[in-house]
């Protein structure tokens, strides 16, 4: 009998190999030369990569042409994720970042590895921390080394970062806002709000850079460019602290308000009214039709969908309501429309507990209250709940791969998302001894590392940096 042409045999093998797992495909490649050539087909490995991660960056393997292999990308990223999922000894290194002589009020990644499009060759994450000791410090996550420290100033109260421009913004106890060059720690500009508490929000519209500052007196101030030039000011919740500041994914809407008063509502403001104010017209603004905001977040995969946890008419009861924000232009005026999409009650037995709220995608909300972590759909279905911690959760970090929770019980709990959208509790990372420390206060993570601050009993906080290896 005549044998089939070699290319037909190869095509059939490649088709059959599409049904194999990674391990089976590697085993098949050692059977014979024909199977090896079929199993090494780049299309097969590219297909496996895109099926698992949707977004892949082959250039992340490095500049060497020999490194540009879909098989190598799959194996390296899969290996790294297995380490991040197991969290066993040897899967990560832990560094203690010491130097602050006060409380850490916040920490941010200046250079991180994106969870949506990770760079597998990147091993130089940088975090910055702000402290009541009046210093801003930059650290190498992998090496555990201090890169630079700002001059001592008034106690710092807040910190945010713009990774794209590698700029850090801080606020201090006198209301002084400063911007810093991330590579060197050089001060770029300053602006005084004369407020003892400031809430910071930075965003970019096209190539324009803006910073919004919420003050203790209830106003918000809009600053432009790295020079921190004032553009506008608006009162939103007089006389209470403006501690809620959000920008929508499409950058058209700013949400501002307070959590300090159960009778006040958040306000939705057209961002152009703040960044390019008109002398003749008041800012375009609309009140959200629920009162007593406890927490709020924009859904990241939607242009302007807002989720709010708020009080209900019954004292102590809470609900989560979802709104779509849009603009309606009529012949003689323009209006903001805030339309309710969903609303459901929450069974939270933590009247005085801090509520933390994050969104993973268009149908998944993560919230923490007390010692519990909950995952809800936007229609109010409780998808999962966890009580891993023995003390209240102080901070959470949510991305497309995992959820990390920090607690006063001096542990970080790591949970990972499954392909079907479920969340699975994996392991915990310890931050030290209760004889020396009081618990974790803040946590942040990129794709391959986790950094958290530990409150020291002696008043000197320490950062713990966990780096996963690939």
The predicted structure's pLDDT at residue 441: 95
Please count the structural domains in the chain.
Answer: 1
Listed range (67-76, 183-192, 453-462) with the worst mean pLDDT: 67-76
* Residue 43 lies inside a defined structural domain of this protein: yes
Helix (H, G, I), strand (E, B) or coil at 21: coil
H-only helix segments in 235-286? 271-275
**CA separation for the pair 248, 425 (Å, rounded):** 30
Kindly report the average pLDDT of the chain as a whole number. 89
User: Residue 414 corresponds to which tokens in the numbers above?
Assistant: 């790591």
Is residue 368 within 8 Å of residue 345, measured between CB atoms?
no
Is residue 56 within 8 Å of residue 120, measured between CB atoms?
no
For 76, the domain range is: 6-85
Is residue 109 within 8 Å of residue 127, measured between CB atoms?
yes
Residue 67 is classified by DSSP as G
The CATH code of the domain that includes 63 is 1.20.1280
* Residue 236 lies inside a defined structural domain of this protein: no
The predicted structure's pLDDT at residue 350: 55
In the sheet with 126-131, reading across from the earlier edge strand, the strands are 104-111, 126-131, 136-140, 145-149
Helix (H, G, I), strand (E, B) or coil at 115: coil
Question: How many distinct helices (H) and strands (E) make up the chain?
Answer: 6, 32
**pLDDT bucket at 123, cuts 50 / 70 / 90:** low
Over 80: is that where the pLDDT of 348 sits?
A: no
The predicted structure's pLDDT at residue 10: 67
Q: pLDDT tens digit string along 219-253?
A: 999 999 999 999 999 999 999 999 999 999 999 99
- pTM of the full structure: 0.89
User: Residue 220 corresponds to which tokens in the numbers above?
Assistant: 């918000």
Residue 4 is classified by DSSP as P
Residue 240 is classified by DSSP as S
* Residue 433 lies inside a defined structural domain of this protein: no
The predicted structure's pLDDT at residue 5: 53
Could you tell me whether strands 92-97 and 167-172 are parallel, antiparallel, or unpaired per DSSP bridges?
Answer: unpaired
The predicted structure's pLDDT at residue 100: 96
* Residue 19 lies inside a defined structural domain of this protein: yes
Half-sphere exposure of 259 (CA within 13 A, CB side): 15
**pLDDT bucket at 374, cuts 50 / 70 / 90:** very high
Q: Which residues contact 174 (CB under 8 A, 6 or more apart)?
A: 154, 192, 194, 196
* Residue 21 lies inside a defined structural domain of this protein: yes
* Residue 37 lies inside a defined structural domain of this protein: yes
Q: Which position has the higher pLDDT, 437 or 100?
A: 100
The predicted structure's pLDDT at residue 214: 96
Helix (H, G, I), strand (E, B) or coil at 381: coil
* Residue 32 lies inside a defined structural domain of this protein: yes
The predicted structure's pLDDT at residue 47: 86
Is residue 106 within 8 Å of residue 129, measured between CB atoms?
yes
**What are the φ and ψ backbone dihedral angles of 321, each rounded to 5 degrees?**
-120, 140
User: Residue 235 corresponds to which tokens in the numbers above?
Assistant: 């009162």
Over 70: is that where the pLDDT of 399 sits?
A: yes
**pLDDT bucket at 59, cuts 50 / 70 / 90:** low
Mean pLDDT, rounded, for 252-267:
95
**pLDDT bucket at 54, cuts 50 / 70 / 90:** confident
The predicted structure's pLDDT at residue 31: 83
How many Cβ atoms are within 10 Å of 297's Cβ, its own excluded? 20
The predicted structure's pLDDT at residue 81: 86
Mean pLDDT, rounded, for 379-397:
94
Could you tell me whether strands 198-205 and 462-468 are parallel, antiparallel, or unpaired per DSSP bridges?
Answer: unpaired
Is residue 261 within 8 Å of residue 322, measured between CB atoms?
no
**pLDDT bucket at 333, cuts 50 / 70 / 90:** confident
The predicted structure's pLDDT at residue 390: 93
Q: Which position has the higher pLDDT, 83 or 15?
A: 83
**CA separation for the pair 196, 177 (Å, rounded):** 11
For residue 239, say if its preceding peptide bond is cis, omega within 30 degrees of 0.
yes
């Amino acid at each position: 009998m005549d044998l089939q042409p070699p290319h037909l045999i190869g095509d059939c093998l490649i088709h059959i190999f599409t049904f194999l797992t990674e391990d089976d495909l590697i085993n098949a490649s050692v059977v014979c030369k024909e199977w090896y050539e079929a199993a090494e087909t780049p299309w097969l490995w590219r297909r496996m990569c895109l099926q698992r991660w949707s977004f892949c960056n082959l250039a992340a393997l490095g500049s060497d042409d020999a490194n540009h292999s879909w098989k190598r990308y799959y194996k390296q990223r899969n290996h790294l994720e297995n380490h991040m999922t197991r969290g066993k000894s040897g899967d990560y290194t832990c560094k203690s970042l010491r130097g602050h002589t006060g409380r850490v009020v916040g920490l941010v990644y200046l250079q991180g590895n994106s969870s949506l499009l990770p760079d597998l060759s990147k091993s130089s994450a940088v975090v910055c921390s702000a402290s009541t000791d009046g210093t801003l410090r930059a650290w190498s996550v992998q090496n555990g080394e201090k890169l630079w420290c700002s001059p001592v100033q008034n106690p710092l109260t807040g910190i945010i970062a713009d990774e794209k421009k590698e700029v850090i913004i801080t606020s201090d106890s006198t209301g002084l806002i400063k911007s810093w060059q991330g590579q060197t720690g050089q001060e770029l500009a300053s602006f005084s709000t004369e407020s003892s508490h400031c809430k910071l929000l930075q965003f970019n519209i096209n190539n324009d850079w803006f910073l919004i500052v919420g003050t203790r007196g209830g106003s918000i101030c809009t600053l432009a460019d790295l020079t921190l030039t004032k553009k506008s000011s608006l009162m939103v919740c007089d006389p209470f602290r403006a501690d809620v500041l959000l920008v929508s994914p499409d950058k058209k809407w700013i949400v501002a308000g307070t959590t300090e008063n159960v009778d006040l509502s958040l306000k939705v403001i057209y961002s152009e009214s703040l960044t390019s104010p008109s002398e003749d017209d008041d800012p375009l603004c609309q009140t959200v039709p629920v009162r007593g905001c406890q927490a709020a977040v924009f859904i990241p995969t939607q242009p302007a969908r807002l989720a709010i946890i708020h009080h209900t008419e019954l004292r102590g009861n809470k609900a989560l309501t979802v709104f779509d924000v849009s603009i309606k232009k009529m012949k003689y005026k323009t209006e903001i429309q805030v339309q309710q999409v969903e609303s459901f009650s929450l069974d939270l037995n933590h009247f005085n507990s801090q509520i933390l709220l994050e969104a993973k995608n268009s149908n998944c909300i993560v919230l923490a209250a007390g010692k519990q972590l909950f995952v809800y759909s936007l229609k109010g279905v409780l998808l999962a709940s966890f009580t891993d911690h023995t003390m209240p959760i102080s901070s959470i970090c949510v991305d497309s791969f995992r959820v990390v929770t920090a607690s006063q019980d001096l542990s970080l709990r790591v949970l990972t998302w499954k392909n079907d959208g479920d969340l699975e509790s994996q392991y915990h990372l310890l931050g030290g001894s209760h004889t020396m420390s009081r618990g974790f206060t803040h946590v942040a993570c990129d794709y391959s590392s986790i950094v958290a601050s530990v409150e020291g009993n002696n008043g000197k906080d320490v950062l713990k940096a966990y780096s996963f290896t690939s």
